[in-house]
């Protein structure tokens, strides 16, 4: 075997070994917090009715224009909150400011049969009331499953994006139900996606805020929107 060929093979094996060693380990499978302990949860859509009582709709960005007709529809019979995706960019927030909690949301996109298929929406936690400060768990079509936002970093508002830190997005394709759980406790914020924690963030400088759901021009359904104060 030629010397240069042996050298190339050695370098290849070493490189492959280093790549495997540096790769982030797959997250350990776990049950959702709701499944582990179903006691003490608040159903945020219980009693909301078709008028979505207890929730406030606001534009994104905060100085944007809010469409007169809401694209949010809640059906008390099925317990499903639907964003038709026919309006502009807005969000609905639950009208109670919180500190430490677990926020459980199940969601699915309606598959797009033609046109743009970016499937954009998100689940909010510890937002300011006007959403100038926000933290979003990104949804998508078999992608997403990370947290990003605009939040104080050393006291100054900055963009944070943890998409590169996600060990496994675990998000299912459009048309299938997904489950997200965002846990906020002190400075820690974690995201659980379809059976495992995919992201831990330990430096959230926002101690309290609002939870909510985002509308961004795609039809998406939400169910079992629940919260457990910690």
pLDDT tens-place string over residues 60-108: 999 999 988 999 999 999 999 999 999 889 999 999 999 999 999 999 9
Q: What is the pLDDT of residue 4?
A: 54
Q: Residue ranges per domain, the chain? A: 29-229
Q: What is the pLDDT of residue 229?
A: 97
Rounded to an integer, what distance in angstroms lies between the CA atom of residue 38 and that of residue 9? 55
Q: How far is CA 220 from CA 72, 94, 141, 213, in A?
A: 10, 18, 11, 10
Q: Which residues contact 154 (CB under 8 A, 6 or more apart)?
A: 205
CATH code reported for the domain at 29-229: 2.60.120.560
Q: What is the pLDDT of residue 3?
A: 53
Rounded to an integer, what distance in angstroms lies between the CA atom of residue 173 and that of residue 189? 25
pLDDT one-digit tens code per residue, 156-181 = 999 999 999 997 889 999 999 999 99
Q: Taking the alpha carbons of 148, 149, 151, 157 in that order, is the dihedral positive or negative?
A: positive
Rounded to an integer, what distance in angstroms lies between the CA atom of residue 15 and that of residue 142? 30
In this predicted structure, the answer to whether residue 9 has a pLDDT above a threshold of 50 is no
Q: Quote the pTM value.
A: 0.87
In this predicted structure, the answer to whether residue 33 has a pLDDT above a threshold of 70 is yes
- Tokens read off for 59: 């534009």
Under a CB-based contact definition with an 8 Å cutoff, are residues 169 and 163 in contact?
no
């Amino acid at each position: 075997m030629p010397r240069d060929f042996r050298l190339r093979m050695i370098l290849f094996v070493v490189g492959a070994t280093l790549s495997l060693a540096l790769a982030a380990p797959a997250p350990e499978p776990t049950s959702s917090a709701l499944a582990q302990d179903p006691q003490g949860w608040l159903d945020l859509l219980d009693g909301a009715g078709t008028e979505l009582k207890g929730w406030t709709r606001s534009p994104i960005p905060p100085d944007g224009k809010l469409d007169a007709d809401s694209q949010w529809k809640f059906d008390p019979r099925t317990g499903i909150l639907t964003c038709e995706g026919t309006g502009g960019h807005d969000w609905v927030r639950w009208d109670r400011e919180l500190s430490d909690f677990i926020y459980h949301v199940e969601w699915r996109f309606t598959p797009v049969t033609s046109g743009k298929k970016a499937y954009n929406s998100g689940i909010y936690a510890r937002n300011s009331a006007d959403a100038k400060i926000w933290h979003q768990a990104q949804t998508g079509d078999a992608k997403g499953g990370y947290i990003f936002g605009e939040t104080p970093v050393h006291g100054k508002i900055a963009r944070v994006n943890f998409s590169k830190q996600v060990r496994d997005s675990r998000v299912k394709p459009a048309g299938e139900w997904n489950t997200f759980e965002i846990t906020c406790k002190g400075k820690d914020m974690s995201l659980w996606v379809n059976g495992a924690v995919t992201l831990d963030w330990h430096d959230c400088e926002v101690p309290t805020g609002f939870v909510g759901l985002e509308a961004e021009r795609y039809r998406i359904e939400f169910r079992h929107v629940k919260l457990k104060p910690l």
